[in-house]
């Protein structure tokens, strides 16, 4: 047992000699709080996953949501992937996320490098120009009118372009670039490298961590887009996944299926609903652990400095 604890707890660093041993009450309190917190995050995920994989009988016996799994029934997922609104929405969301993240990362990295050189032409003015939107948000109604006026309504560009540069992410990347030793950049310049070349060959290879983190931020915000879709996407065959999730689970409308194959036996609706939730969570949970370790290292250096 103790070896197990030691294994989980890992490299238990030594308590400094001057520190008094912990009181049992304090220790217990801390354990309870942290356990509740961790369980509070994991339990809903667990219930939703288990329910999505449950059969009609299991769900009926549990009276709705299933906590303890009894067998695995993938019919909910089979229904979803047979085609229809959810599959299409997943496809649209994937498209928005991939295109959006690519564009946003390019725009942000370029702007961050362009703004990373104090003393360059127009530097102070440009920096102010890029930072002001951090304090003054674009107002809702004129923003709506601008996007519709540009004819972007019912296209994925209405979701992709407006958030394609986030000032916070820009500040993070810029801060990171400014932390790169200037000797490296100077030597490149002396060797005759252009700024584009310096960025591509020297700066970017050194900035993988921060680009991964900022890329995750962008990808998550594109995957999570909901309100912009409410504003700009009226055609329900263009809905991204969050919009489908909301209309299906929160507003209680069945997703419009394209095929109209209502003759087949329907899987339990509760399982299908929860399967939609699982499919919405899954990409985030899948990507997140790989990038999480860079958060503090990659993000805070830039953020706090900026």
Partner 1 sequence: MSEPAVLAGPERARPDAPASPGRPPGRPPRRGRVPLRTRLRRDWQLLAMVAPGFGILLVFSYLPIAGNVIAFQDYNPYLGDNPWQAFAHSDWIGFGQFQLLFSDPAFWDAFRNTLAITAFQLVFFFPLPIVLAIALHNLLSSRLRGLIQTIVYLPHFFSWVLVVTFFVAMLGGAGLLAQTMRDAGMQPWNVMTNPDTFIVLVTVEAVWKDVGWGTIVFLAALSTIDQNLYEAAAADGAGRWRRLWHITLPGLRPVIVLLLILRLGDALSVGFEQFLLQRDAVGRQAAEVLDTFVYHFSIATGNYGYGAAAGLFKAVIGLVLILAANRVAHMLGERGIYSKS
Crossing angle of the two packed helices 269-292 and 24-52, in degrees rounded to 10: 130
Nearest to 48 by CA among 284, 280, 290: 280
Dist CA 202 CA 293 (whole Å): 23
24/19 Cα distance (integer angstroms): 15
At closest approach, how far in Å is the CB of 96 from partner 1? 13
Q: Give the nearer residue to partner 1 in terms of CB position, either 145 or 266.
A: 145
C-beta atoms surrounding 121 within 10 Å? 7
Q: State the first-to-last Cα distance of the chain, in angstroms, to the nearest integer.
A: 47
> Which two structure tokens, joined as six digits, stand for 55?
């059969």
Closest CA relative to residue 75, chosen from 98, 99, 54, 49: 54
Residues near partner 1 (CB under 8 A), total: 110
Show contacts with partner 1 in window 145-164 (CB under 8 A).
145-151, 161-162, 164
Looking at residues 210 to 249 of the shown chain, list those that interact with partner 1 (rule: CB under 8 A). 220, 223-224, 226-227, 231, 242, 245-246, 249
Q: Under rule CB under 8 A, which residues in 74-93 are in contact with partner 1?
A: none
* Closest CB 132 distance from partner 1, rounded Å: 8
Q: Are 202 and 188 in contact (CB under 8 A)?
A: yes
Verify binding: residue 286, partner 1, rule CB under 8 A.
no
Which of 192, 205, 260, 289 touches partner 1 (CB under 8 A)? 289
Which residues from 245-284 bind partner 1, rule CB under 8 A? 245-246, 249-250, 274, 277, 280-281, 284
Closer to partner 1 by Cβ: residue 267 or 276: 276
Our CA dihedral for 16, 21, 27, 30, rounded to 10 degrees, sits at -30
Q: Does 305 bind partner 1 (CB under 8 A)?
A: yes
Cβ proximity to partner 1: between 74 and 246 the closer is 246
**Given candidates 179, 204, 256, 269, which one binds partner 1 under the rule CB under 8 A?**
179
Q: Closest Cα partner for 243 from 288, 285, 284, 276?
A: 276
Nearer to partner 1, 1 or 8 (CB): 8
List of residues 6+ apart from 50 with CB closer than 8 A = 66, 67, 68, 69
* Of residues 182-201, those binding partner 1 (CB under 8 A): 182, 185, 194-196, 199
Shortest Cβ 183–partner 1 spacing (Å): 10
In whole angstroms, what is the distance from residue 159 CA to residue 231 CA? Answer: 10
Cβ-based nearer residue to partner 1, 71 or 119: 119
Shortest separation between residue 250's beta carbon and partner 1, angstroms? 6
Q: Which stretch binds partner 1 (CB under 8 A): 75-83, 108-116, 200-208, 260-268?
A: 108-116
Residue 168 makes contact with partner 1 by CB under 8 A: no
Residues contacting residue 207 through CB under 8 Å, at least 6 positions apart: 173, 176, 177, 180
Candidates 117, 154, 236, 257; binder of partner 1 (CB under 8 A) is 117
- Nearer to partner 1 among residue 8 and residue 72 (C-beta): 8
Shortest CB 55 distance to partner 1, Å? 18
Q: How far apart are CA 167 and CA 102, in angstroms?
A: 17
């Amino acid at each position: 047992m103790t070896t197990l604890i030691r294994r989980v707890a890992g490299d238990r660093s030594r308590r400094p000699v001057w520190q008094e041993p912990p009181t049992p009450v304090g220790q217990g309190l801390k354990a309870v709080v942290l356990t509740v917190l961790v369980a509070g995050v994991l339990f809903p995920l667990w219930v939703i996953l288990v329910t999505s994989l449950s059969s009609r009988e299991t769900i009926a016996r549990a009276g709705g949501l299933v906590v303890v799994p009894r067998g695995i029934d993938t019919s909910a997922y089979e229904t979803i992937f047979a085609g229809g609104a959810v599959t299409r929405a997943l496809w649209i969301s994937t498209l928005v996320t991939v295109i959006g993240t690519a564009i946003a990362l390019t725009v942000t990295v370029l702007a961050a490098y362009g703004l990373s050189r104090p003393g360059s032409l127009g530097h102070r003015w440009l920096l102010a120009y890029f930072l002001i939107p951090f304090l003054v948000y674009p107002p809702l109604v004129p923003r709506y009118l601008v996007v519709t006026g540009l004819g972007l309504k019912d296209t994925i560009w209405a979701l992709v372009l407006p958030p394609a540069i986030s000032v916070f992410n820009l500040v993070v990347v810029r801060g990171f670039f400014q932390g790169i030793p200037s000797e490296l950049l100077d030597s490149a310049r002396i060797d005759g490298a252009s700024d584009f070349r310096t960025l591509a060959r020297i700066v970017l290879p050194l900035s993988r961590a921060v680009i991964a983190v900022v890329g995750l931020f962008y990808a998550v915000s594109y995957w999570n887009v909901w309100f912009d879709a409410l504003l700009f996407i009226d055609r329900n065959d263009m809905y991204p996944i969050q919009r489908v999730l909301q209309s299906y689970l929160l507003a209680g409308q069945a997703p419009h299926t394209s095929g109209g194959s209502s003759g087949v036996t329907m899987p339990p609706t509760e399982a299908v609903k929860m399967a939609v939730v699982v499919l919405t969570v899954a990409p985030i949970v899948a990507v997140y652990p790989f990038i999480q370790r860079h958060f503090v290292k990659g993000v805070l250096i830039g953020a706090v400095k900026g």
